[in-house]
Chain A
Amino acid sequence: MKEYRDKPTKFAEPTEAEVKARTKRNIALAAGLLLFVILVFVTMVSRGELPNAV
């Protein structure tokens, strides 16, 4: 049986400002998550809870 789907016909392009803001947010999010991972790791190590792999 054929699945029903709407075919999109209209598309919106983000403005220059929107793309710029989104890129900045993405970079900040990536940096924040990386920092978080590092901090969790260092904190665990500082507590003497070394991961098995270390």
Chain B
Amino acid sequence: MRSDTHIIPDAPVGLASDDLTGAGLSLAGPRDFFQLMKPRVMSLVVFTAVIGLLVAPGSLPIYNAVMAIVCIAVGAGASGALNMWYDADIDAQMTRTKKRPLPRGIMAPRTALTFGLFLSVVSVWMLGLATNYVAAGLLAFTIFFYVIIYTMWLKRRTPQNIVIGGAPGALPPMIGYASVTGSVTIDSTILFLIIFIWTPPHFWALALYKLSDYGRVGIPMMPNVAGPKSTRNQIFGYSIVLAATCAAPVVTGLGGSIYAFGAAILNAGFLALAFKVWRSRAGEKDEVQPESLYEVQKGDRDARNLFAYSIIYLFAMFALIGADHLLTGAI
């Protein structure tokens, strides 16, 4: 008998198969586990956490700083894995998510759950060890909020899901900041608020042109519940609040002249695109929509443009804060 031959018990175990073609082992490789961690989201998390760590007053030894970033990234990845475990049913029905490892059927849900829980514990514990327990507590809170409050509670119940659920996505720079200072300050709260207020217009722009995708699986996104017009109004409203929030770093000294100049241009662009969405008919059609995130019907182009710009915008805003700090020592 070969060493990798598996005994089929009489009991109806999932792996048993009468035709003996394969043992029912998982086909998931390391790449699939990496995909489980939502690498695209993780890149934004890492970037904003690095900026938080960079602009915080004080310093951290390079090894501990790197460990802090790794732990924050892994913690975010753990949240992603737990999210995919819980949402496997709806992911299978949405064009944007149906190619994830669980809907593809190459990984057992229990594997994703174990993977997510293990990484959650490891990342929080290691962050506490490498930096301090305020940062570790914030990371634990982030994972808890994303998995329990957002994924399990709000996402399927209220159109305000991504407004409140945006908090965990906004916490990484605050965790990076706390890794250095061991505290939560006004400046780290401003970094949090920029991402927190940016989240609704970012996601609702996507939801406007991916309306049927969310509607099909019963997720109460704002365009499905309040309608496209109300969503466009709210996108524009949040964009104005976002622009005002972006002025706060100049007031507190977190951002200097470089930031002020760059943020003014970036927010002018954001407001212009949000205004175009407000005036458009984005989200009004309910036809079969293209699979790609960036291929849209004519009426939805303004929403697609705002969504694409909002990604660049956030990276650029945080890059400005970091650049300003490095070049002028704003704090």
Binding site for B on A (CB under 8 A): 6, 8, 10-15, 17-19, 21-22, 24-25, 27-28, 36, 39-40, 42-44, 46-47
- Docked-complex contact A11 and B29, CB < 8 angstroms: no
Contact present for B1 and A6 (CB under 8 Å): no
Q: Evaluate contact between A40 and B126: CB separation under 8 angstroms.
A: yes
Interchain CA distance A8-B63 in the complex, whole Å: 53
Complex Cα gap A43–B123 (Å): 13
Interface of A is mostly: helix
A22 to B28, CA, bound (A): 8
Which 6 A/B pairs are nearest by Cβ-Cβ distance?
A18-B25, A28-B30, A14-B23, A15-B22, A12-B23, A8-B7
| Contact in complex: B16, A12 (CB < 8 Å) | yes
Some 29 contacts from A to B, beta carbons below 8 A apart, are A6-B9, A8-B8, A8-B9, A11-B5, A11-B8, A12-B5, A12-B17, A12-B23, A12-B24, A13-B4, A13-B5, A13-B6, A13-B20, A14-B4, A14-B22, A21-B25, A22-B25, A22-B26, A25-B26, A25-B29, A25-B33, A27-B30, A28-B30, A39-B67, A39-B126, A40-B126, A43-B67, A44-B129, A46-B61
Majority-rule SS of B interface residues: loop
Residues of chain A contacted by B15 (CB below 8 angstroms): 12
Complex interface: chain B residues within 8 A of A40 (CB): 126, 129
In the complex, what distance in Å separates the CA atom of A28 from the CA atom of B29?
A: 9
Within the complex, the shortest CB–CB distance from B115 to chain A, in Å, comes to: 10
Is B95 engaged at the interface, CB distance under 8 Å to the other chain?
no
A33 to B220, CA, bound (A): 40
Q: Does the CB pair A13–B2 fall under 8 Å?
A: yes
Q: Is the CB of A25 within 8 A of B30?
A: yes
> Is B288 an interface residue, CB under 8 A from the partner?
no
Instruction: Kindly provide the distance from the CB of B180 to the nearest chain A CB, expressed in whole angstroms.
Output: 15
Take A19-B4, A36-B122, A42-B63 as given contacts and tell me if A13 and B23 are in contact as well, using a CB distance cutoff of 8 Å: yes
The residues of B that contact A10 with a CB separation of less than 8 Å are 8, 18, 20
Q: B residues 1-60 with Cβ under 8 Å of A?
A: 1-2, 4-10, 15-18, 20-30, 33
Which chain A residues border B67 with CB–CB below 8 Å? 39, 43
CB distance from A49 to the nearest CB of B (A): 9
Minimum CB–CB distance from A3 to chain B (whole Å) comes to: 16
Docked pose: A6 CA to B129 CA in angstroms: 50
Question: Is B154 part of the binding interface, using a Cβ–Cβ cutoff of 8 Å?
Answer: no
Q: Interface readout for B266-292 with A: 1 if CB under 8 Å, 0 if not?
A: 000000000000000000000000000
Contact between A46 and B64 (Cβ–Cβ < 8 Å)? Answer: yes
Q: Is B306 an interface residue (CB 8 A)?
A: no
Residues of B with C-beta under 8 A to A6: 9-10
Q: Which residues of B contact A15 (CB under 8 A)?
A: 21-23
A48 → B minimal CB distance (Å): 11
Which residues of the partner chain A approach B9 to less than 8 Å between Cβ atoms? 6, 8
| Residue in contact with B6 in the complex, picked from A14, A46, A47, CB distance below 8 Å | A14
Q: Tell me if B8 and A43 are in contact (CB < 8 A).
A: no
> Are A21 and B29 touching (Cβ within 8 A)?
yes
Q: Shortest distance in angstroms between B312's beta carbon and chain A's nearest beta carbon?
A: 33
User: Assuming A11-B5, A11-B6, A13-B2, is B63 touching A18 (CB within 8 A)?
Assistant: no
